[in-house]
A = this chain, B = another copy of it.
Amino acid sequence: MLNREIDHIKFRQKRRNENQGRLLVSCPDKPGIVSVLSTFLYQQGANIIESSQYTSDPENGMFFIRIEFVCEDLVTKSARLEKDFEEIAKIHGMGFRLAYGSERKRSAIYVSRETHCLMELLWEWQSGDLDTDIVVVISNHEEARPMVEALGIPFHYIPANKDIRQQVEAEQIQLMEKYDVDLLILARYMQILTPNFVSRFANRIINIHHSFLPAFIGAGPYERAYDRGVKLIGATSHYVTNDLDEGPIIEQDVVRVDHRDHVADLKKIGSQVERSVLVKAVKWHLEDRIIVQDNKTIVFH
């Protein structure tokens, strides 16, 4: 947490491979696609180091693939590579996305009073395990300021409630633009976002919901879990859409509880699951492992 440490972190995070790239493709399935893609990459001088694919249905299904490759001088070659691949994509009706090791994603975190999810993200980031620049933290409370600023990250306090939502979001959007944010992480932010806001960040807002969705959608999931007498409680990370807690699920996990656990215990126990489930989703997003299709996720991990 001292300067010495921060330097150390920056050093480690720099070692990532500038020659590494990722290609994500989705298209109607047909024979020969892997051949087309792998031959293209070979001709560009790239070596495939990881590849995962999925066909939704053997008959007339969709084909999805994520390829990780290394390529000498990728930084200088990338514009040309992208242009060349567009041709191929056009011919075969492919949707695609190319991501480069040299271009680290920029993340913003929204948080409310509960800081355990924020702390987990900062810890992982500090350990060099979160491949992103955390460029800003925004909160409607002051609780998180000290730990955020201690790490040299800008912290903005924007009070929020449902009566001033428009105005709050206008201010937030301005900050999103100023900090050029790629990914927005809701680390227990607890405020609903408007369709206007959500539409600007389609499949780029990750939320953590403190229940095993679709059980206990909405407010007070631990209270309701307690009332129902469930034997497991869970957490769900998902992309945010306009339907509350109905977006594509990225990851879920549960933990065992029993009759001795009151609501406060459920919250304490559940906070551990929330932390790990959110961090996993964020990591997979940063590593371009997630494809959203029909309100579901394909996760190549």
> Residues of A at under 8 Å CB distance from B?
1-2, 4-5, 29-35, 38-39, 41-42, 45-55, 58, 70, 119, 123, 129, 146-147, 150, 212-216, 228-232, 234, 248-254, 258-260, 268, 295-299
> Do A299 and B258 touch across chains, with their CB atoms under 8 A apart?
yes
Checking B2, B52, B123, B250 against A52 with a beta-carbon cut-off of 8 angstroms, the contacting residue is: B52
Q: A203 CA to B222 CA in the complex, in Å? A: 26
Checking B49, B55, B213, B259 against A58 with a beta-carbon cut-off of 8 angstroms, the contacting residue is: B49
> Do A39 and B46 touch across chains, with their CB atoms under 8 A apart?
no
Checking B30, B51, B119, B254 against A34 with a beta-carbon cut-off of 8 angstroms, the contacting residue is: B51
| Least CB separation from A249: chain B residue | B229
Q: A30-B47, A38-B34 are in contact. Are A230 and B249 (CB under 8 A)?
A: yes
Jot down 29 A-B pairs with beta carbons below 8 A, ordered by A. A1-B146, A2-B146, A2-B150, A4-B146, A5-B146, A30-B47, A31-B42, A31-B48, A32-B47, A34-B48, A35-B38, A35-B42, A48-B53, A50-B55, A54-B259, A212-B212, A212-B215, A213-B215, A213-B230, A214-B215, A214-B216, A214-B228, A214-B230, A229-B249, A230-B249, A232-B234, A232-B252, A234-B254, A254-B254
